[in-house]
Amino acid sequence: MRLLKSALLLVTIAFALDGILAFAYAQTTTVVSYTIPAGEKAVTNYKTKTSDSYNPQKYTNTFTNTTLTSPCPKCVIAIEFEAKNGDNTVQAVMMDQTITCNNTALWEPGEYRLQLWRSDPSVLTTHTSGDWVY
């Protein structure tokens, strides 16, 4: 009986670890941090999404500041989720907010990058950083 309980415990742990590891491979998080001069864009390198789970991409703006305002919780940063094949969608995010890519075509495995720029009027250099889950 003790051997059976031990075997069941090991099987349960194995299934739990399998689920955790599958989720870990399903999505990858990359830290994005750029200084964006007024009127310009920042562009990340392409990242490969290999998951077959079709999870949505997300971006969390963890910190934004300008040369005069630090932090800048009301600075609006435009995030363009862009596929190498040309599909894209643009959404806006402010500090401490998370956006989920609303274009389901960009949830599929493929090559993706982000373009970031200040979308509200500003003549100041803006620094922004966040977590991109793809």
pLDDT in tens, 24-42: 445 788 999 999 999 999 9
* In a domain? residue 88: yes
53 has pLDDT over 80: no
**Interval 104-115 mean pLDDT:** 94
Range of the domain at 94: 29-133
Please count the residues of the chain: 134
Domain of 70, CATH number, reads 2.60.120.510
20 has pLDDT over 60: no
* In a domain? residue 35: yes
21 has pLDDT over 60: no
Q: How many structural domains is the chain composed of?
A: 1
Which of the pair, 8 or 117, is modelled with greater confidence? Answer: 117
* In a domain? residue 39: yes
17 has pLDDT over 50: no
Alpha carbons 44 and 75: distance in angstroms, whole number: 20
Q: What's the whole-model pTM score?
A: 0.78
14 has pLDDT over 80: no
- Burial letters 65-84, b for 16+ CB under 10 A, else e: bbeeeeebeebbbebebbbe
Give the tens place of pLDDT for each residue, 82-106.
999 999 999 999 999 999 999 999 9
